[in-house]
Structure 1
Amino acid sequence: MNESIAGSVVTAGPAGDPSHTGVAPHHLVPAPDADSTRTRVRALVVSQGPIDAARLAAELDLTPAGVRRHLQALVAAGEIAERLVPVTGPRGRGRPPREYVATTGAQEHLPDASGELAVEALDFIAAALGEPGVATFADGRLAELEARYLTVVEAAGDDIPARARALADALTADGYAASTRRPAGELPVLQLCQGHCPVQQAAERYPELCEAETRVISRLLGVHVQRLATIAAGGHACTTSVPLGLSAPPPPSAPASIAHAT
């Protein structure tokens, strides 16, 4: 025997118990995997930020309203930050355009190879050998990385944007969440952005690690580059400006330790 209760169909149980309904109890209904989607939103903001809600929705196949709910939750959690998009011309009606970037809080959800042991080791080197010792260590640490990336970058040919994209792909494979982009304006430059720093804790204390990485990027791309921001110094990404279409002098030579590694 069936009865209608509040619009639900109630089907009698084995002993005529009407507690068994055609509608599953709330605790048995699978909930949408919000955490998984939010993780995808966070990861894309880390790797592609600054990025707006419309582009996020398109990349993740979400509705604009859906992606905004996740963005608001991530902003409230302190994992991403919202900022106004600079507008050069007249602005139309409606909500001012906004874009999103990752904060230090988002970095905590990504792989991190800069534990206390790494910092303690650098402290020991600094105490024993001073700043030159730390700089030598930083160059040596990146020697194997540079030798491995060189093959990938050289395969992209002589075109600087192509080389930068190849380097970004290689960095992403190693956990740096890297990308390339053309900044607004007419300057012939490209930006190489790394949304994650696997050695952030160590780099915050020893910027020599960032300086050595900048030199490696310059040698791999074959032009002098300029580091605009680093995560270790409080930026939302490690951003390196790469000149395009300029007659740049050759990049500095690799240290002996790196030359031997290649």
Structure 2
Amino acid sequence: MPENASQVGAGAPAASGVPRAERDTRARVARLILENGPVAASALGERLGLTPAAVRRHLDALLAEGMIEVEVKRARPAATRGRGRPAKLFAITDRGRNTFVHAYDDLAANALRFLAEAAGPQAVSEFARRQLAGLEGRIGPRLRALPPDQRVRALVEALSAEGYAASSSQAPHVLGGFQVCQHHCPVAHVAARFPQLCEAETEAFARMLDTPVQRLATIAHGDGVCTTHVSPVKAGNEESGGISL
């Protein structure tokens, strides 16, 4: 695990005075909340083999740093008792989730940097193509089975289902065709260092749509959205009326 990942939940500035073992345990607590939350303190203690006092210490630290938050849920009343007592459940916050994302980004970037140094830039390109092969395998057959005029819309719907928050629009008249915009990129931080990831994605779009495409902007390079121009449907398919939105 990289140093950044071991500091998840401790916060980089505050972690300097915290023993490594303490940081690692706190990171495990945060990870369990990320993966299983909202979750009770007792459940965390059971999973990690920690005493109630130890769990409370880590939870208090994570709460103070804004990594987690408390959700109050009223417990079901027992048959022999009156009203159930509110149960505290702990959930990850956006800040905590982003901390994990950046830690994973650093790990991925370090791995790709090692691959480039050990086997050359072409190895990174091949890795990117293999990663996109999974996405293409899920989406490609469905797109290729559609008439050309329906593929852009289907691609946008499929990308949105994959978490890319995609949309499409008519391209400027001088270009013709359409533009596909992705408003979210799960690998933007890594792609900023390794543009091969964006290049492989563009190549996959061209294959799935069966028409030339060109990347005009990327979140990885600081643009607001990833924008891809999709060329007009190629000759022979004019009867379809072009690719529809």
TM, length-normalised to structure 1: 0.49
Structure 2 counterpart of 1:228, from 188, 204, 216: 216
Partners of 1:152 and 1:170 within 8 A in 2? no
- Structure having the larger proportion of residues in helix: 2
How far apart, CA to CA, are the structure 1 residues paired with 2:155 and 2:177? Answer: 16
How far apart, CA to CA, are the structure 1 residues paired with 2:223 and 2:134? Answer: 27
In structure 2, what residue type is equivalent to 1:132? Q
Q: Identify the residue that residue 198 of structure 1 maps to in structure 2.
A: 186
Residues 57-206 of structure 1 correspond to what in structure 2 (within 5 A)?
A: 115-159=105-149, 162-185=150-173, 187-206=175-194
How far apart, CA to CA, are the structure 2 residues paired with 1:217 and 1:186? Answer: 22
User: Unpaired runs of 5+ in structure 1?
Assistant: 1-107, 249-262
Structure 1 residue 217 and structure 2 residue 191: aligned? no
In structure 2, what residue type is equivalent to 1:212? A
How far apart, CA to CA, are the structure 2 residues paired with 1:152 and 1:195? Answer: 23
User: Unpaired runs of 5+ in structure 2?
Assistant: 1-96, 237-245
Counting aligned pairs with the same residue, the percent is 45
How far apart, CA to CA, are the structure 2 residues paired with 1:195 and 1:112? Answer: 17
How far apart, CA to CA, are the structure 2 residues paired with 1:187 and 1:218? Answer: 16
Aligned residue for 2:167, secondary structure, equals strand
- Report the aligned-residue RMSD: 2.3
Structure 1 residue 244 and structure 2 residue 232: aligned? yes
How far apart, CA to CA, are the structure 2 residues paired with 1:245 and 1:150? Answer: 17
Aligned residue for 1:181, secondary structure, equals strand
Deviations 1:197-225 (A, max 9, x none): 10011100000000000000000000111
Aligned residue for 1:119, secondary structure, equals helix
Deviations 1:76-131 (A, max 9, x none): xxxxxxxxxxxxxxxxxxxxxxxxxxxxxxxx98x958621111111111111111
In structure 2, what residue type is equivalent to 1:181? S
